């Protein structure tokens, strides 16, 4: 198995259906009582509540009809036993409760929880419950619900979001699709989400990143059930601490020829900065040599900005093959434009057969071409570019980001990195990788150019960059994670609104330094 497809069970991301089957396996095959499992989930959620919001009260617990509602009733029971004031509202009529959810309601009543049915609460009283609350516990809609929430859930979701109160979501925020990360209607904006048994993939990409708040995973000691059930993850969560050892070690006698030559083909008239951002990011990401092929009018500015880059002014595509011959990896697309100049450049890059990273306008041009899938390429579309490549509307891409990335990978080959919150990297049919986390400061022009330069540099440094699907996949995963980590560090001092691409480039050396072994750089005996 490729290393990037491995990892621990805690990094495995499952569909909602898979998690339900794992839950069923734990109950039916391992003999764990379903109600005991529900009680464990409620205790775990309540413990997290106490750690995050010690002493906050009263709690307003909103419970639905299924097992998610059962979790809520038991959280309320734990809170009452702990001495907290609790207002518990049965959003779904309690007569509809069955199985373990009904047992949970009965236990809550037995423990002194006063459960009010929503249908018995008038508007002024409901408003006062929200006004008096210190914290909302959302246990309304679980993983079995699909489509836009209906009333009365939709109205309560809006009320939760308008309350200004912190919200603890039990398992997932109501209204979120736990498999796709999409939202079809109203969705709870949680401050923290405590999820159980298996990580649901929808919490880590798309709208899930925006609405879940801090995601806390509680396995409920079901790891053996995850393994024994035979359920395969649909994705793997990747983060800096897990992948930083993928960087190739640098021997003491290293020289620039060992770390690849990245050629950036970018920057039509008016877009010279895009190519320069990609080139400077490649330099800061350890490439041995970096060349920039751009319009002649950008050469002086590029050399003044970054003299480490070899800059070539090109008028016509026929000038590119000599530069391509010397390159290990080509990054094509940032600021490329869609004029004849950009078309000529892309044509030469594709025909060269060189390992390549295609971004921005290279993707827009690619969408109108008949191309042969290539195993040695990385495509890095944002949702708009992905929609053009697939010939579908952008909402269709965002409705199921994982499916869109897989379709692109099947059509174009190689590796597809679908940008956005919870960036998706698809390199093989059975599962994808997701770069864990997001950063709103990255929502500005030029961040994608930096990413393409990082990936190009990492791809060029891999020892077998000219063969095998594993190399571009590793470069794409590592590049996405490094990009996000550098942005996190830069925003810690710059904030989100003022973050610009060069801030991320400046943070790259600090990130990469953590992957380097401690050494005596002077070479003296110690």
pLDDT in tens, 196-223: 999 999 999 999 999 999 999 999 999 8
pLDDT at position 522 over 50: no
Residue 449 annotated as binding site: yes
Residue 222 annotated as binding site: no
Residue 298 annotated as binding site: no
Residue 342: its pLDDT value, please?
A: 97
At 226, is the pLDDT very low, low, confident or very high (cuts 50, 70, 90)?
Answer: confident
Residue-wise pLDDT for 446-460, tens only, equals 999 999 999 999 999
d(CA 297, CA 5): 44
At 314, is the pLDDT very low, low, confident or very high (cuts 50, 70, 90)?
Answer: very high
Residue-wise pLDDT for 250-300, tens only, equals 889 999 999 999 999 999 999 999 999 999 999 999 999 999 999 999 999
At 9, is the pLDDT very low, low, confident or very high (cuts 50, 70, 90)?
Answer: low
Note every long-range contact of 20-23, with CB atoms under 8 Å and residues 24 or more positions apart, other chains counting.
20/143, 20/144, 21/229, 21/231, 22/197, 22/198, 22/222, 22/225, 22/226, 22/229, 22/231, 23/197, 23/222, 23/225
Residue 229: its pLDDT value, please?
A: 94
d(CA 283, CA 263): 11
Residue 456 annotated as binding site: no
Residue 422 annotated as binding site: yes
Residue 257 annotated as binding site: no
Residue 139 annotated as binding site: no
Residue 421 annotated as binding site: yes
Longest dimension (CA), the chain: 82
Residue 285: its pLDDT value, please?
A: 97
Residue 439 annotated as binding site: no
Residue-wise pLDDT for 351-398, tens only, equals 999 999 999 999 999 998 878 899 999 999 999 999 999 999 999 999
Residue 144 annotated as binding site: yes
Cβ contacts of 359 within 8 Å, gap of 6 or more: 278, 331, 332, 333, 334, 379, 380, 381, 448, 449, 451, 452
pLDDT at position 147 over 70: yes
Residue 342 annotated as binding site: no
Which strands form 167-170's sheet, in the order they lie side by side? 115-117, 86-90, 59-63, 135-139, 167-170, 192-196, 214-218
Cβ contacts of 252 within 8 Å, gap of 6 or more: 523
Domains and CATH numbers, the chain: 3-233 (3.40.50.10260), 242-513 (3.40.1190.20)
Residue 162 annotated as binding site: no
3-state secondary structure string across 453-476: HHHHHHHHHCCCCCCCCHHHHHHH
d(CA 276, CA 309): 9
CA pseudo-torsion sign 448, 478, 489, 165: positive
Residue 526: its pLDDT value, please?
A: 40
pTM of the model as a whole = 0.94
Q: Is 427 helix (H, G, I), strand (E, B) or coil?
A: coil
Residue 120 annotated as binding site: no
pLDDT at position 464 over 90: no
Residue 382 annotated as binding site: yes
Cβ contacts of 212 within 8 Å, gap of 6 or more: 169, 172, 173, 176, 190, 193, 203
At 428, is the pLDDT very low, low, confident or very high (cuts 50, 70, 90)?
Answer: confident
Cβ contacts of 167 within 8 Å, gap of 6 or more: 135, 136, 137, 138, 160, 173, 188, 189, 190, 191, 192, 213
Higher pLDDT: 465 or 521? It is: 465
Residue 473 annotated as binding site: no
What dihedral angle (degrees, nearest 10) is formed by the CA atoms of 496, 499, 503, 505? 90
Mean of pLDDT values over 326-343: 97
pLDDT at position 520 over 50: no
Mean of pLDDT values over 64-79: 97
Higher pLDDT: 463 or 58? It is: 58
Percent above pLDDT 70 for the chain: 95
């Amino acid at each position: 198995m490729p290393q990037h497809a491995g990892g621990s069970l805690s990094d495995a991301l499952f569909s909602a259906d898979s998690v339900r089957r794992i839950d069923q396996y734990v109950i039916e095959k391992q003999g764990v009582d379903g109600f005991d499992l529900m009680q464990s989930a409620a205790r775990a959620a309540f413990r997290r509540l106490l750690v995050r919001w010690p002493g906050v009260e009263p709690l307003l617990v909103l419970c639905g009809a299924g097992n998610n509602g059962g979790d809520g009733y038991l959280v309320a029971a734990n809170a009452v036993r702990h001495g907290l004031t609790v207002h518990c509202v049965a959003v779904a009529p309690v007569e509809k409760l069955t199985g373990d959810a009904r047992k949970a309601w009965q236990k809550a009543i037995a423990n002194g929880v006063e459960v009010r049915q929503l249908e018995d609460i008038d508007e002024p009283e409901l408003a006062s419950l929200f006004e008096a609350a210190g914290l909302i516990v959302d246990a309304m809609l679980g993983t079995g619900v699909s489509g836009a929430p209906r009333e009365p859930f939709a109205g309560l979701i809006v009320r939760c979001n308008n309350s200004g109160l912190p919200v603890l979501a039990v398992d997932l925020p109501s209204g979120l699709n736990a498999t796709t990360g999409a939202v079809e209607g109203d969705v709870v904006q949680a401050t923290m989400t405590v999820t159980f048994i298996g990580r649901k993939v929808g919490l880590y990409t798309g709208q899930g990143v925006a609405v879940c708040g801090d995601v806390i995973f509680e396995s409920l000691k079901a790891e053996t059930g995850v393994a024994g059930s035979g359920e395969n993850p649909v994705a793997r969560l990747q983060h800096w601490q897990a992948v930083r050892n993928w960087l190739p070690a640098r021997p003491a006698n290293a020289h620039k020829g060992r770390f690849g030559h990245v050629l950036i083909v970018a920057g039509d008239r008016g877009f010279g900065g895009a190519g320069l951002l990609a080139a400077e990011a490649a330099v800061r990401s350890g490439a041995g040599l970096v060349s920039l092929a751009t319009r002649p009018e950008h050469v002086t500015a590029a050399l003044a900005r970054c003299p480490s880059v070899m800059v070539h002014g090109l008028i016509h595509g026929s000038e590119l093959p000599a530069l391509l011959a010397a390159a290990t990896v080509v990054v094509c697309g940032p600021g490329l434009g869609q004029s004849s100049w950009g078309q000529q450049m892309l044509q030469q890059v594709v025909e060269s057969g060189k390992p390549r990273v295609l971004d921005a306008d290279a993707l827009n041009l690619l969408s109108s071409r008949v191309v042969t899938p290539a195993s040695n390429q990385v495509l890095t579309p944002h949702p708009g570019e992905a929609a053009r490549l697939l010939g579908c509307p952008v909402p269709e891409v965002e409705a199921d980001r994982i499916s869109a990335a897989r379709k692109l990978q099947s059509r174009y080959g190689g590796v597809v990195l679908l940008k956005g919150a919870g960036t998706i990297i698809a390199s093989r049919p059975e599962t994808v990788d997701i770069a864990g986390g997001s950063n709103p400061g990255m929502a500005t022009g030029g961040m994608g150019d930096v990413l393409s330069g990082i990936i190009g540099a990492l791809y060029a440094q891999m020892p077998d960059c000219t063969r095998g699907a594993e190399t571009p996949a590793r470069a794409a995963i590592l590049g996405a994670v490094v990009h996000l980590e550098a942005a996190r560090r830069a925003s810690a001092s710059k904030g989100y609104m003022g973050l610009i691409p060069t801030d991320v480039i400046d943070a790259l050396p600090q990130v990469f330094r953590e992957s380097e072994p401690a050494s005596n750089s002077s070479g003296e005996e110690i």
